[in-house]
Amino acid sequence: MSNRPSSLSKSRFLAGLQCPLRLWHQCCSREFADPVSPMQKALFESGHEVGRMATKCYPNGILIREDHLHHEDAVRSTIDAMNDPEVQAIFEAAYTEGGVRVRADILERVPAGGWNLIEVKASSGVKEEYSTDLAVQYHILQMAEIDLDRVYLMHINRDYVFDGMELELDGFFVLEDMTDDAAGLQDFVRENISQIKKMLSMDRPPVIQPSRRCHQPHKCEFWGHCTRNVPENWILQLSGIRQEHFEDLTARGVFTIDNIPNFFPLTAIQRRIRDCIIESREHIDPALHDALNDVSFLVHFLDFETVSPAIPRYAGTRPSYQILPFQWSDHILYSNGTIEHKEFLCDEDIDPRTDFMQSLLDVLKGKGTIFIYTTYEQRILRDLAGHSPEHADHLNRLHSRFVDLYALIKAYYYNPAFNGSFSLKNVLPALVPEMDYQNLAIREGGTASLEYIRMLDPQTPVTEKRKIRKNLLAYCEQDTLAIVKIRDALLSE
């Protein structure tokens, strides 16, 4: 095909290892890709920010500025930089060998001769796929006859604590020697480069069925396209289905939940889901109403919003996505049926945890039941207790008051409209069809985190900050109102 690339990039090689069809679409039918979500954009920018910070560890370095559309120019600039003895490090060094292009995050000149290859990742440790990433670069640089001394992975040190002053790069980053890992994968890299090139030379795309593997190790941008024709009640939508069970059923020609045979090993919940779909009925355990009514007033319906900066923003916080709660919403049900709403949003650029915690403890004082949807809020409270030992007793005493509505629904109720899932986005429209998030500017937690950071940004105009604040409050209030409405709907069943 005319739009097929003449060379293979490192990122496309890695995409091809994950799924040959993903690579095919990247090369030949990019228009099938799902829109990039705000959360994905944030992750990309976070990675770039960490990468830019890593270059500060090498003050005598030079950036190769030509982008991927001018790769050959970048290769020439890289050669010039390598030949300049004053250049001690090269950022985004470019190479092409054997029809494969790579850009190395950092090449560090070794005083005794040669270069160190350094790949920067905005993660807090070594992941399996990083070895392959480095092995591809190692392979191409070896082909280019670059004298490589060592191969390193530079990642974030999860134990580093920011003092609130200036970020200490030596403490923030960790270097892991991956030389042996990269060298040991050379046969694997060579074989797969050959296979991937052969696949791309074919006239038709490979035939690959979507499965859980599509998002390992990275979310595939063609998921929407590849699953556009899956049947209603597709077996992959079955709550908790394992990959090996999915593959077994597919091999048997079973593609929908209602066609799963009786002899197939299912959990009690999975079997309940299957039976409800087959019989087009709801499942309601009598214990559900008892559990929902077993409350102490005042009854709270609680939700948190959080932010997780890759680079620490406040004194006493750690990098690598430490979770910082900045907002809560609480719908309060009184014994006479009256509902009151209270909320908190930290709108100053300070560590939000203290104000968040104190305001929350104030509203939750007493002995009332606290409804949540999943145990995420309890995890946040445990983190807060560790952060503030003086409040730990008060925070820890809250746990006995929590009721996880997600767990109750999963244990005692099923509606075929859930489509095999108990997530809030599936449960809410099934039980409360008149309620949705479509009219809200913020519709999911990832966007809320991004908008919160944008609200704190000094460059954001005051009028825009006010708008963001209003949108954040509306979104979090909708989340807790959803829990109220779901409980009401279940009680009316």
Instruction: Express each pLDDT in 344-390 by its tens digit.
Output: 999 999 999 999 999 999 999 989 999 999 999 999 999 999 999 99
Q: How many residues does the chain have?
A: 493
Of 355, 401, 412, the C-alpha closest to 377 is 401
User: 114-135: buried (b, 16+ CB within 10 Å) or exposed (e) per residue?
Assistant: ebbbbbbbbbbeeeeebbbbbb
How many angstroms separate the Cα of 249 from the Cα of each of 13, 213, 215, 241, 451? 30, 15, 20, 11, 42
Of 187, 229, 206, 202, the C-alpha closest to 16 is 206
| pLDDT beyond 70 at 3 | no
Quick check: helix, strand or coil at residue 353? helix
Q: Region 458-477: what's the mean pLDDT?
A: 97
Instruction: Express each pLDDT in 320-335 by its tens digit.
Output: 778 999 999 999 999 9
Bridge-partner residues for 117, per DSSP? 107, 151
Residue 434, Cβ neighbours under 10 Å: how many? 6
| pLDDT beyond 90 at 38 | no
Bridge-partner residues for 96, per DSSP? 101
| pLDDT beyond 90 at 482 | yes
- Residue of higher predicted confidence among 40 and 196: 196
Look up the pTM and report it: 0.89
pLDDT bracket for residue 16 (50, 70, 90): very high
Mean pLDDT over the full length of the chain:
94
| pLDDT beyond 70 at 406 | yes
Q: Cis peptide leading into 217, omega within 30 of 0?
A: yes
pLDDT at 46: 87
Give burial (CB, 10 Å; 0-12/13-18/19+) of 208: middle
Instruction: Express each pLDDT in 221-260 by its tens digit.
Output: 999 999 999 999 999 999 999 999 999 999 999 999 999 9
pLDDT bracket for residue 313 (50, 70, 90): very high
Instruction: Express each pLDDT in 418-442 by its tens digit.
Output: 988 999 989 999 999 999 898 899 9
Specify the residue for token string 């990468």.
51
- Give every CB contact of residue 339 below 8 A, 6+ residues apart in sequence: 331, 332, 333, 484
